[in-house]
Structure 1
Amino acid sequence: MIAAPTDAPGERIEVGVLIVGGGPGGLACALRLGQLLEERPDVAERLGEVPVALVDKGKQPGSHLLSGAVMNPRALRRLFRGRPEQLAAVPTYGEVPGEGVYLLTRRRALRIPPPPTLRNHGNWIVSISQMARTLAEQAEAGGTFILPETSAERLLVEHGRVAGVRTGDKGRGKEGEPLGNFEPGSDIVAKVTVLAEGTAGHLTYAAIDHFGLHGREPQMWELGVKEVWRVARPLDKIVHTLGWPLRKRAAYREFGGSWIYPMGEEMVSIGFVIGLDYRDLELSAHDLLQEFKTHPFVRRILEGGERLAWGAKTITSGGWHALPRKLNAPGLLLVGESAGLVDLARLKGVHLAIESGRLAAEAAFRSLERGESPGRIGVFDSYDEELRGGYVGQSLRQVRNMRQAFEKGFFVGGALASAMTVTKGKLPPKEFHNERNDAVPLLRSGRAARYPVPDGALTFDKLSSVFASGNRTRDDQPNHVRIERRVPRDVAEMWAWMCPAQVYEVGDELGDGTVEVRMTPSNCVQCGAISARGGRLTPPEGGSGPEYTLT
């Protein structure tokens, strides 16, 4: 994952600033750089023919993006300060019209006062994939060269500094052999490289390992599965739920909940999130969502409706404790979820990604001015200081122990979370610790017996859901998922239940308590869950994976 450039100097693609990832953080970085270079054409001229380039492995920016999403517009307003027409062009479903938080039992929904962290007055309801497509158009208009369907396979490091990326080959067969349409990858070299890969980024973790940037605590993840429905009746508020179908006992370590957000009068977004530190090997985020939809409260919202789209994605949840020691290295900046910038307590990450992208652009621009060098050690330290000292760092520090508190169970965790909220993180006085998701011991309780049988109307199986994601992966391309193929049966079963896209299957017994794991990697929607529980997701061929349009 780390290599020196291999193309001859004359064959390399040279750019000024290279951004990896077309999510909110990467696009905000591109947009801000465009603004700064417009004001300083002398700097733009020194950067050559392509001052700013952005690579994205999806068919287009937005294709691999999935979020709830209720977004705090604060960062977007800062990004477009003095440019009201660009802000107005961002597609939204309006401000949050009202909100309700419910504690669910199997048959009942008890409305409870929204905790301060779930109050969303003034926030916007958006489709993150739609928003990204618009931001990408604006970035291109501002001078960014966007390369879609381009995976970043290796981080190029030369003379101790990041020099760009190597893009992945296209047109290889299952065994790696070149096919008739084979296209080799290329070295893209840059003065500054910005990693905005999102959750469980392939190059991000290579950079963290190589430059020794590991945070104080290990990173943690949640897994969210989402559907978009056309509904018969408009929903007049956003909804969050706690409780059922999760179990409250600390022994199960089932942390999570749901959302239901209106998307105009005709659609709703519905999703379920589960922490990937759960213990029951039969727990399945996809099947929890299907079970959740059978609750009378939820069924009434969806009754007479039709499922339009489905998707799945991991969410970074280690918070303040898991932030990299530094968010930069010589020639390199980390933004958004690549840097772990998610406030899970408030269910917010989009505005933190946008703010970090803006600040990264300003730091990159300063390093490119005369008398400076992007390769100088410490040149980007001001980015860290601004991010940690501003509202991004302050909001993460206040809730730094909240996710970990729920490892003690629903009721104890809720009480601790309330204390943390009231005191803005000052209580309890001790710091909690993160535990690696893949270090959790497994148990078996027969949980799967409660999942509903898919009926194709309200509840759905995994394969039909993968189809609804618009998955474009070739059956005959190389396997991009790295796992041990011979593992204990419990681990294989856990992977099979965990994966929302039915990539893993328990194979033959091998006689020593282990089994063979069979795989269908072409089903993969690149959610990243396997990276949290013992494997590693790497980039597939550019243009593969889901084609999200409403998520």
Structure 2
Amino acid sequence: MAEIERESMEYDVVIVGGGPAGLSAAIRLKQLDPDLNVVLLEKGSEVGAHILSGAVLDTCGLDALLPDWQSMDAPIKTEVKEDNFYILGPAGQARIPNWPMPPFMNNHGKYIVSMANVCRWMAGVAEGLGVEIFPGMSCSQLVYEGDRVVGVVAGEFGLGEDGQPGPNYEPGMELRGKYVFLAEGVRGSLSKEVIAKYDLSKGHCPQKFGIGMKEIWEIDPAKHREGTVTHTMGWPLGSNAGGGSFIYHLENNQVYVGFVVHLNYANPHLYPYMEFQRFKHHPMVADLLAGGKRVAYGARAISEGGWQSMPKMVAPGVALLGCSVGMVNVPRIKGNHNAMLSGKAAAEAAFDAIKAGREGDELAAYEAEVRSGPIGKDLKKVRNVKPLWSKFGLIASLMGGGADMWLNTIGLTLFGTLKHGKTDAAATGKAKDFKKIDYPKPDGKLSFDRLTNVAFSFTNHDESQPAHLKLKDPSLPIRVNLPEYDEPAQRYCPAGVYEVIGEGAEARFQINFQNCVHCKTCDIKDPSQNINWTTPQGGDGPNYPNM
């Protein structure tokens, strides 16, 4: 395609992503200097449309950013009153008491929230301070000057299926800034480009990931216990994969039911979505949900590498925030507080640099604050839980990881810093080495087929645009992945995007990109690393109501 001329707009800071990290950065910048020109670009149809999280919120990040949030009508109302942890077997469960766990694992005093609604509220706060927020604006390219990132291309619409401008083509604009903050969430396409271009992962472990799937249920009021938090491990995953579930009772007789599968599983026949559906038939869960109805569904990848896997976060003119770096505390199942703290820290570093006339350099002060401040302290003390689980299994992780977390509360450790092994893609084994897994058919009451559930994510993509899921080699899924791995894209995608149609010489690989919920699992888990997730045109994708 020929070089496209675009109009440009100048800002002090350009922020990509309307999640907790990007919004916190925007708010803090305007707190520090109301005259700074700050723009935030969100690819969803509105702020919150693409936000999916558990979520039990530790408000420490919000306390630091907006100390008066409790008087600001924030959608943060349901305080945790009961905190349960179970190991499941096929027909029963055993409760693990809370007392052996370090105090920081306690959920009391935290809040069950919809992070989608928290982000909608934060967007209102940011706009009230003068931040320009543009939803429905996918950022498709970075803009460079020499070795420095100086902006993004946003708002390109009207490309045809062949990738060429159609009759209603709009080229988008260059939005330029003294700094560009990438707060795209897990495995963002621009963040991935920056990490590769500047070799930011050098010297760090590979990032590790999980796939999180979530449904919102309205249940029988007699069974509803507002403020109750339950986590489980064990069945149905067993030794097939790491992971577990969460069940959170929020207000209005609603319950969040979620399931996480660590993506370093070896058996390519594993079907994470069906593990989730099977989980709901456990007697403890089935009894809770019986007579209720599922009202929403969604999925997204989770960064799980923690302390060892955080890449360098800065390059000339650009900083990575929140899950673009990977700041989830895996045993606590929390990352939103760290995302907020990272946004605040990046804003403060950029403000100081702009004030000192150092605009466009590397924000070393931001990186230092993340690694030595509250975020680093939060992640460092749990850094061995995930590698212990990956190497030795659930029980070793509970015992060894628990002991190590206790010691870390006084600055000691049993293991030093354990390393993560290969990438999640490379962890995938060959199909011939594993038995296929027989999954029960969904019953339409507790469990549902993927396409039925995807309708409850309210996902929509304009079918006339190019597919945003790009194959580096279109022949590879049938030529390599099918014979070697039984093409696991058919199973690891929680939205039914990928299909193998036909058999033998007639087999072909089909991409139903219209179904995509933007979880990025395919970009992470494809064993041949042949799938590149890119942004579709702005406003497309899921439209999560209260996730």
Per the alignment, in what secondary structure is the counterpart of residue 163 of structure 1?
strand
Which residue does the alignment assign to 2:344? 358
Query: CA contact under 8 A between 1:318 and 1:434: conserved in structure 2?
Result: no
Query: CA contact under 8 A between 1:25 and 1:336: conserved in structure 2?
Result: yes
Asked if 1:340 is matched to 2:326, the reply is yes
Superimposed CA distance per residue, residues 29-84 of structure 1 (whole angstroms, 9 cap, x where no aligned partner): 1111121123xxxxx2xx5xxx0000010001111110100010011011013x45
Whole-angstrom CA distance in 2 between matches of 1:386 and 1:441 = 36
Q: 2:490 aligns with which of 485, 491, 496?
A: 496
Query: CA contact under 8 A between 1:510 and 1:516: conserved in structure 2?
Result: no
Name the CA shift for 1:183/1:491 in 2 (closer, same or farther; >3 Å).
farther
Q: 1:246 aligns with which of 228, 237, 252?
A: 237
Whole-angstrom CA distance in 1 between matches of 2:179 and 2:538 = 22
Which residue does the alignment assign to 2:9? 13
What are the within-5 Å matches in structure 2 for residues 252-401 of structure 1? 252=240, 254-324=241-311, 326-369=312-355, 371-376=356-361, 378=362, 380-401=363-384
Whole-angstrom CA distance in 1 between matches of 2:165 and 2:69 = 49
Letter matched to residue 462 of structure 1: R
Tell me by how many angstroms 1:151 deviates. 0.7
Asked if 1:506 is matched to 2:500, the reply is yes
Asked if 1:518 is matched to 2:518, the reply is no
Tell me by how many angstroms 1:320 deviates. 0.9
Superimposed CA distance per residue, residues 332-381 of structure 1 (whole angstroms, 9 cap, x where no aligned partner): 11110011111112101000000000111111111111x422223x4x11
Q: For this pair of structures, how many residues does the alignment match?
A: 522
Q: 1:452 aligns with which of 436, 440, 459?
A: 440
Percent identity over the alignment is 36
Asked if 1:230 is matched to 2:218, the reply is yes
Tell me by how many angstroms 1:443 deviates. 4.8
Whole-angstrom CA distance in 1 between matches of 2:206 and 2:443 = 40
Query: CA contact under 8 A between 1:66 and 1:128: conserved in structure 2?
Result: yes
The answer for unaligned runs of 5 or more in structure 2 is none
Name the CA shift for 1:174/1:113 in 2 (closer, same or farther; >3 Å).
same
Which residue does the alignment assign to 1:29? 25
Which residue does the alignment assign to 2:87? 103
Letter matched to residue 335 of structure 2: G
Per the alignment, in what secondary structure is the counterpart of residue 33 of structure 2?
helix
Name the CA shift for 1:112/1:447 in 2 (closer, same or farther; >3 Å).
farther
Which residue does the alignment assign to 2:183? 196
Whole-angstrom CA distance in 1 between matches of 2:302 and 2:348 = 26
Whole-angstrom CA distance in 2 between matches of 1:275 and 1:126 = 23
Query: CA contact under 8 A between 2:442 and 2:449: conserved in structure 1?
Result: yes
Letter matched to residue 170 of structure 1: F
Whole-angstrom CA distance in 2 between matches of 1:229 and 1:274 = 20
Whole-angstrom CA distance in 2 between matches of 1:104 and 1:118 = 20
What are the within-5 Å matches in structure 2 for residues 469-488 of structure 1? 469-483=457-471, 484-485=473-474, 486-487=476-477, 488=480
Per the alignment, in what secondary structure is the counterpart of residue 78 of structure 2?
coil
Tell me by how many angstroms 1:241 deviates. 0.4
Name the CA shift for 1:432/1:146 in 2 (closer, same or farther; >3 Å).
same
Asked if 1:421 is matched to 2:408, the reply is no
Query: Structure 1 length normalisation: TM-score?
Result: 0.91
Superposition RMSD in Å: 1.9
Which residue does the alignment assign to 1:41? none
Query: CA contact under 8 A between 1:416 and 1:428: conserved in structure 2?
Result: no
Query: Structure 2 length normalisation: TM-score?
Result: 0.91
Tell me by how many angstroms 1:156 deviates. 1.1
Whole-angstrom CA distance in 2 between matches of 1:547 and 1:96 = 27
Superimposed CA distance per residue, residues 216-251 of structure 1 (whole angstroms, 9 cap, x where no aligned partner): 111111000000001113125110001000123xxx
Tell me by how many angstroms 1:430 deviates. 5.5
Tell me by how many angstroms 1:102 deviates. 0.8
Whole-angstrom CA distance in 2 between matches of 1:516 and 1:415 = 47
Whole-angstrom CA distance in 2 between matches of 1:126 and 1:32 = 22
Superimposed CA distance per residue, residues 489-536 of structure 1 (whole angstroms, 9 cap, x where no aligned partner): 14453111110110111245566xx96421111111110101111222
Query: CA contact under 8 A between 1:235 and 1:268: conserved in structure 2?
Result: no
Asked if 1:94 is matched to 2:78, the reply is yes
Query: CA contact under 8 A between 1:153 and 1:167: conserved in structure 2?
Result: yes
Whole-angstrom CA distance in 2 between matches of 1:205 and 1:315 = 15
Query: CA contact under 8 A between 1:492 and 1:515: conserved in structure 2?
Result: no
Superimposed CA distance per residue, residues 308-342 of structure 1 (whole angstroms, 9 cap, x where no aligned partner): 10000000011111111x21112111110011111
Whole-angstrom CA distance in 2 between matches of 1:498 and 1:416 = 30
